[in-house]
Chains A and B, each alone.
Chain A
């Protein structure tokens, strides 16, 4: 089958970061894939930073995506088990937002978070999980209820509510125009679940491909097109988080991010009227200065 034939039968879902953000609305619940400072859809996050969209509920295994959006005042509520930059344990902008009380938080445990995504992907209202009870997660998260096993054991579990998302943003190494996404690193994280838990999922990729070839390792084809609304090619789009094997985390730049006051960082790297190309050039210019 030629490329033309394939395109005739399957929808081309390619779009730009701005086209993705144009489909988001203030007040939405947005899930962001990746983990900590790893494989975050940062180009899409940056497009979001430049938009008018605000008042978001962000659902994330948090990294700098959360820090940037919190610093820019885009987050009303955060659903998370942690926020970290990995090599820098604490995320400064997230910390500041919490300590100033500017971000509402719904704190859950890592496993509870995963089961919330599973529940949403399976169209269930909740899934039982042996986690949370006995901890202060139950005290600070009033949305959590418990459920009793209907079987002989009669045990009590947390009924983790579905984390249904209006939109999901994820980043992978390769994707085709139809929304099939491939990861080439060691860990899929939960990106396929984010897509399946969302009403609309947007997949950015390091490189857009016409197909995955006959020698593809099928297990690497993580994201299925039925769960994807839009595909965006964003080379270096996970910067400054890692997206191995395409690129490691930009540790020097991450350190700069973590030690620069937000207004100063934003003025240089995310100025009004800028775009992703401008961001990448500014990063390159900064690296040149460091030599």
Chain B
């Protein structure tokens, strides 16, 4: 466990909140091997590229369209939507999706707010969330942790949570896995006996109480009740984030430092 007093291994420079988020996102793809990292959102994109540059060199990345690219942007493959969907079904992918609503068992909603038949706010639609969650690991990125997002019950289950998968049976649970949820405040996972969401770590500068306050349901805590801080970036990781992967500092716009 690291405490804020020890500071970043990187030394003098203070690690920003956005950089802790990048590290927490990158770690989602640790030990994934040769799979497609599909980051949705800016900080997950920085995280995926950092992971590939450091501890997960075999990851595949896309240019956001139909080309698989290496770290320098050179093409190494073709991945149009139809093949992308096959990669999902084949399980060779770990996506980090967004969520308009997320509940205690990881059910996610991006379709609409309110009654589906006549929504208060129509959003995107379920997109590929149903197929993603039943076939390849799905993590989530929430840039603004709040009670509006972390709700007791989502209005429209787009991405399937643990309880819904269990209720739907073996075909739903067979390849279902939600490794982690990263927010601007914390890292959450489902490492509890009933797969209820657990506060795995808080980013340095954030208190457990702050996360609880911003969550619309009761969060499980690690065994013993002590919540660690999100890990510090190494000096090399910090250098890569700042000088190579995101030199323009776009990450700071998605999660401003407090």
Question: Which residues between 108 and 152 of chain B lie within 8 Å of chain A, taking CB atoms?
Answer: 111-112, 116-131, 133-135
Determine if B244 is an interface residue (Cβ-Cβ < 8 Å).
no
Contact of B130 among A94, A98, A112 (CB under 8 A): A112
Q: A29 within 8 Å of B by Cβ?
A: no
Contact partner of A155 among B80, B88, B170, CB < 8 A?
B170
B: contact size bracket: 35 or more
Flag the segment in B50-58, B153-161, B231-239 that touches A. B153-161
Q: Are A111 and B85 in contact (CB under 8 A)?
A: yes
Contact A135 B82 (CB under 8 A): no
Chain A residue contacts of B121, Cβ below 8 A: 95, 99
Specify which chain B residues have a CB less than 8 angstroms from the CB of A35 in the assembled complex: 81
Is B172 in the interface zone, CB < 8 Å from A? yes
The A-B contact count (CB < 8 A) is 131
Given contact pairs A114-B85, A155-B170, A82 touches B127 in the complex (Cβ within 8 A):
yes
Which residue among B116, B121, B169 has the maximum number of chain A CB atoms within 10 Å of its CB? B116
Are A114 and B82 also in contact (CB < 8 A) when A130-B135, A134-B160 are? yes
- Complex Cα gap A82–B123 (Å): 8
What are the residues of chain A within 8 A of B134 when measuring CB–CB?
Answer: 130-131, 133-134
Which residues of B are found within 8 Å of A95, using beta-carbon distances? 121-122
- Please tell me if the beta carbons of A155 and B171 are within 8 angstroms of each other in the complex: yes
The contact string, 1 if C-beta is below 8 Å from chain A, for chain B 163-176, is 01101111110111
- Enumerate A72-131 residues with CB–CB distance to B below 8 Å: 80-84, 89-90, 94-95, 98-99, 101, 107-112, 114, 129-131
Q: Which 8 A-B pairs have the closest CB atoms?
A: A131-B131, A82-B125, A134-B168, A98-B122, A111-B131, A186-B66, A134-B160, A109-B130
| Interface set of A (CB-CB < 8 Å, partner B) | 35, 62, 80-84, 89-90, 94-95, 98-99, 101, 107-112, 114, 129-137, 139-140, 155-157, 186-190
